[in-house]
A and B are shown apart, each in its own frame.
Chain A
Amino acid sequence: GAVVSQHPSWVICKSGTSVKIECRSLDFQATTMFWYRQFPKQSLMLMATSNEGSKATYEQGVEKDKFLINHASLTLSTLTVTSAHPEDSSFYICTGRGSSYNEQFFGPGTRLTVL
């Protein structure tokens, strides 16, 4: 299957700082990438849909000014958590989908801890 990477794999930051998470498709062009967050022992919640070259589409209840998404190329999408607070601590996972796929390929996830 196709490979999606994320960087960093884990990050610890102080409250009030911003954190950028990168999602890359390594061997395919991901016209669409999706961002999910997963709290411990809970399900994956879709945050936003990121389309290359256009603005992200956010799910209801997700603050677009807090979770900035940029999809500048067919292989890279970034999620920036601005002014992070402890309640933003979570596991953030991206997926990539090629133009001809139904399947989404998951990145390994980024564990964010905000102190």
Chain B
Amino acid sequence: GENVEQHPSTLSVQEGDSAVIKCTYSDSASNYFPWYKQELGKRPQLIIDIRSNVGEKKDQRIAVTLNKTAKHFSLHITETQPEDSAVYFCAASRGGNQFYFGTGTSLTVIP
């Protein structure tokens, strides 16, 4: 089955700096890669996703890059704000079916 690894497990950045979270996956058939933000006690919320036919996608301060050959994808958050503090999960999926999640990254943005 699919195995998704995520690094780092914790990340602290100063407000205004950039944050990068990296994930690798094992199943070359995976073709959909969403990123979720989860605040304490709440459900995960989709923040951005990318499909395997695209190498990069950007939405305001958030961007995701995908390297299919190396089987890794990354989340980039620029100009971080305190409200970006949360746990972020990457996931890999074949066509939006079973999602296999990474282990999560706890991001703290220091004002």
Q: Hey, which bits of chain A sit against chain B, CB under 8 A? A: 1, 32, 34, 36, 41-46, 49, 59-60, 93, 95, 97, 101-104, 106-109
Q: Is the CB of B99 within 8 A of A42?
A: no
| Distance of B41 from chain A, by nearest CB (Å) | 8
Instruction: Determine the residue in chain B with the shortest Cβ distance to A95.
Output: B99
Q: Is the CB of B34 within 8 A of A44?
A: no
Q: How far is the CA of A21 from the CA of B102 in the complex (A)?
A: 25
Whether a CB of chain A sits under 8 angstroms from the CB of B51 is: yes
Q: Is the CB of A43 within 8 A of B101?
A: yes
Q: How far is the CA of A4 from the CA of B12 in the complex (A)?
A: 32
| Distance of A84 from chain B, by nearest CB (Å) | 21
Q: Given A102-B32, A103-B49, A107-B43, is A43 in contact with B102 using a C-beta cutoff of 8 Å?
A: yes
Q: Is the CB of A101 within 8 A of B96?
A: yes
Q: Is the CB of A43 within 8 A of B103?
A: yes
Q: Contacts of A104 on B, CB cut-off 8 Å?
A: 34, 96, 99
Instruction: Determine the residue in chain B with the shortest Cβ distance to A108.
Output: B43
Q: How far is the CA of A52 from the CA of B84 in the complex (A)?
A: 37
Q: How far is the CA of A106 from the CA of B46 in the complex (A)?
A: 9
Q: How far is the CA of A34 from the CA of B34 in the complex (A)?
A: 16
Cβ contact of B96, chosen from A43, A45, A102, A107, cutoff 8 A: A102
**A-B residue pairs, 5 tightest by C-beta:** A102-B96, A106-B43, A44-B101, A43-B103, A43-B101
